[in-house]
Structure 1
Amino acid sequence: MAITMADVAKRAGVSKSTVSQYLNKRYEYMSQETRVKVEAAINDLGYQPNHVARSLKQKRTSMVGIIVGNIMHRYSTEVCRSLEDYFNEHEMNAIICNADNDPEKERKYIEMLRAKQVDGLIIFPTGQNVELYKSMLKTGYPVVLMDRKVKGIIAPSVVVNNREATMRAVEHLIEKGHKKIAIVTESLTISTRLERKQGYMDALKENNIPIIEEYMISTEIKSMGSELDNLFSLQDPPTALVAGNDLVFLEVLKFAKASRIKIGEQLGLVVFDNIPFADLVNPSVTTISQPSQEMGLKAAELLLKQINKEEVNPKDTVFSCELFIRESTKTSFE
């Protein structure tokens, strides 16, 4: 037989409303003695609150959904940790789903989470479910877009200055004497990759360095090895390279090892992503680091404000990245 709130109240010698106040952490008019009695009754009886019933009454589930583009990225993992920590502190549960940058999986997760009546969603959007995004925003459903922008969608978003950060990285390589600089990204299906490529091209233009189509690789991870082979088989191969994220970086490392190319000596390398132990590997890796913890915190705050019916400005919150210069770009090629 299930233990009820009435059973707890009877054991503690208090009213049901007092037990309810205790469960909802409303202790303002409750003595320490009463709190101790209610807690003891709950423990003695093994009472488990009926969260479903409470959700129906409060019209909230105290659950949020987080739909990640690709959980394998270190940056995404760090953001999710920040989000989960924030919601845990605010007595809310986070359900994390990995969409694999697949629009169909993303759509299914959005529908599933909304069917579970989560209070709001934080989405690393694929950008391919525009009508679904619009329908949520039109009805006032709490949504925050994370990391990526979607053309035609006006929603609270948390992003970084991808273009400007990549420009700074390319300019650093130019300062070290590089003029033959390549960029390697995954397929140009999301805004971050497009912005990083644009920053690369803008930096070359501003420094009067010709843009060479063969120096720009955008492909799936599984094809990257062969594309890198083509790149470095050119008659005039690059002396420096910008890797668009951590997964691209791993492919570059594999290729360089197989091809006996010494990073930091024969090839300057910058990685756009948060690489753990980037300063400990040999050579240490120059990275464009994103403030993942702060970004997660901001996205969580924006979502909770919407859930609490507070007004939120539907605009981008743009964070700056930091270029950490290490051994992989210290060698001068002048």
Structure 2
Amino acid sequence: MKKKSITIGDVAKKAGVSKSTVSQYLNKRYEYMSQSTRENIEQIIHELNFHPNESARNLKNKKTTIVGIVVANIRHAFSTEMIRIIENALEEQDINVIICNADDNPKKEEHHIRALLSRKVDGLIIFPTETNAAIYQQILEEEIPVVFIDRIVAGLSVDTILLDNQMAASLAVSTLAASGHTKIAMLTLPTQSAISPRIERIEGYKTALMACEIPFNPDFICSAELHTLQAGLTNMFQLADKPNALIAGNDLVLREVLQFLKVQELTIPSDVAVIGIDDVSYADIYQPSLTTIAQPTEKMGLKVAALILNRLQHKNKEAPQIYRFAPELKKRDSSL
């Protein structure tokens, strides 16, 4: 009986990595993997007595497709989940992915984009920061397939996937208003940076207050860096007319809100009701459980993958569009 030949898939399975990673190893593209991963693959190849020469010859004439993903801030649960979904979808099409984190730093983002362009990546998926319009324009002029996630960049025609942010904030306000809350505050990261979701969520908040016939109080908006949010909350709760409900603009802001309420020994929801925009992994197990406005990351991630694939394969000849996805209310105990 003929002995079954060892395949790249066998090596990948035993090494606990993807087939594309093994292919990168065989093509000596070691810059896309850690030293430990490289050594692990090498060891498995020896253990299985895998002879990659034939595979390498087969790969020689096949261009490896690489897509770079530049994420604004990988600390956001939304960002990491989106990356996971996109990477899995592209890997199924034998497309390799390089992931870079900009830490919400435009200079770092530009550095990553230029590095990816120098490597001649086939496409880019970008969570934009704010001030890099020139390099975004360069990408378009060079006709490199590109998709933006989460943030709209004014003046550029790019396929963009994002949440319906005004609807998300409106859902939060209407849910709190339905529970009888009328002193509803909104907390976000800085809005002066022109990052579209933050601005849209505040606009949605204001519009929803009007719809619920709740007077708008400018003192009930706090836009600040993470390290100063606690101080902003302290000032807000020193007001004679303090809020009885808080909307956290994203998952990182929510953590600051929860920490503040814990230190101040304020009880959720009897003292202060809370809703977070962006679902969080601990929402169900936190006491009390946390009401959140979730982004449909599965649908959004698959749409991003489909858009970049169509652009890479030149199937999509239409003008770029903006795709907004409806949020989902996950009502739990913190908003009662």
Whether 1:274 aligns to 2:258 is no
Match of 2:197 in 1: 192
**One-letter amino acid of the structure 1 residue matched with residue 138 of structure 2:** S
Displacement of 1:49: 5.2
Unaligned runs of 5+ in 2: 1-22, 24-47
Return the alpha-carbon distance in structure 1 between the equivalents of residues 85 and 314 of structure 2: 23
Match of 2:6 in 1: none
Give 2:326's match in structure 1, choosing from 303, 316, 320.
Answer: 320
Displacement of 1:43: 6.0
Unaligned runs of 5+ in 1: 1-22, 24-41
State the Cα deviation string for residues 170-189 of structure 1 (Å, max 9, x = none). 01111111111000001112
Displacement of 1:303: 0.6
Match of 1:47 in 2: 53
Match of 2:185 in 1: 182
SS of residue matched to 2:136: helix
TM superposition outliers: structure 1 runs of 4+ over 3 Å: 42-46, 48-51
Whether 1:103 aligns to 2:109 is no
Match of 1:213 in 2: 218
Match of 1:298 in 2: 303
Match of 1:74 in 2: 77
Q: Contact (CA 8 Å) 1:64, 1:94: kept in 2 or not?
A: yes
In 2 relative to 1, CA 161–312 (structure 1 residues): closer, same or farther, beyond 3 Å?
Answer: farther
Return the alpha-carbon distance in structure 1 between the equivalents of residues 232 and 317 of structure 2: 44
Give the stretch that moved more between structures: 79-88 or 308-317: 308-317
Displacement of 1:134: 1.7
Match of 1:241 in 2: 246
**One-letter amino acid of the structure 2 residue matched with residue 315 of structure 1:** Q
Return the alpha-carbon distance in structure 2 between the equivalents of residues 104 and 261 of structure 1: 40
Match of 2:208 in 1: 203
State the Cα deviation string for residues 108-166 of structure 1 (Å, max 9, x = none). 11100111111100000013111211221133210000111111111111111010121
Return the alpha-carbon distance in structure 1 between the equivalents of residues 273 and 164 of structure 2: 23
Return the alpha-carbon distance in structure 1 between the equivalents of residues 52 and 123 of structure 2: 31
SS of residue matched to 1:63: strand
Whether 1:144 aligns to 2:150 is no
Displacement of 1:48: 7.2
Return the alpha-carbon distance in structure 2 between the equivalents of residues 278 and 99 of structure 1: 27
**One-letter amino acid of the structure 2 residue matched with residue 153 of structure 1:** L
Q: Contact (CA 8 Å) 1:61, 1:118: kept in 2 or not?
A: no
Paired residue total:
287
Displacement of 1:44: 5.4
SS of residue matched to 2:259: helix
State the Cα deviation string for residues 237-266 of structure 1 (Å, max 9, x = none). 100010001110110111001000111111
Matches within 5 A, 1:128-167: 128-167=131-170
In 2 relative to 1, CA 85–242 (structure 1 residues): closer, same or farther, beyond 3 Å?
Answer: same
Displacement of 1:61: 3.5
**One-letter amino acid of the structure 1 residue matched with residue 315 of structure 2:** E
SS of residue matched to 2:324: strand
Displacement of 1:216: 0.3
Q: Contact (CA 8 Å) 1:302, 1:312: kept in 2 or not?
A: no
Match of 2:236 in 1: 231
Match of 1:257 in 2: 262
In 2 relative to 1, CA 312–318 (structure 1 residues): closer, same or farther, beyond 3 Å?
Answer: farther
Identity fraction in percent: 40
State the Cα deviation string for residues 198-221 of structure 1 (Å, max 9, x = none). 100111122232211111001100
Displacement of 1:300: 1.0
Larger radius of gyration: 1
Matches within 5 A, 1:2-13: none
TM-score, normalized by length of structure 1? 0.82
SS of residue matched to 2:110: helix
TM-score, normalized by length of structure 2? 0.81
**One-letter amino acid of the structure 2 residue matched with residue 123 of structure 1:** I
Displacement of 1:279: 1.6
State the Cα deviation string for residues 265-294 of structure 1 (Å, max 9, x = none). 111111001211312211000000001122
SS of residue matched to 2:70: strand
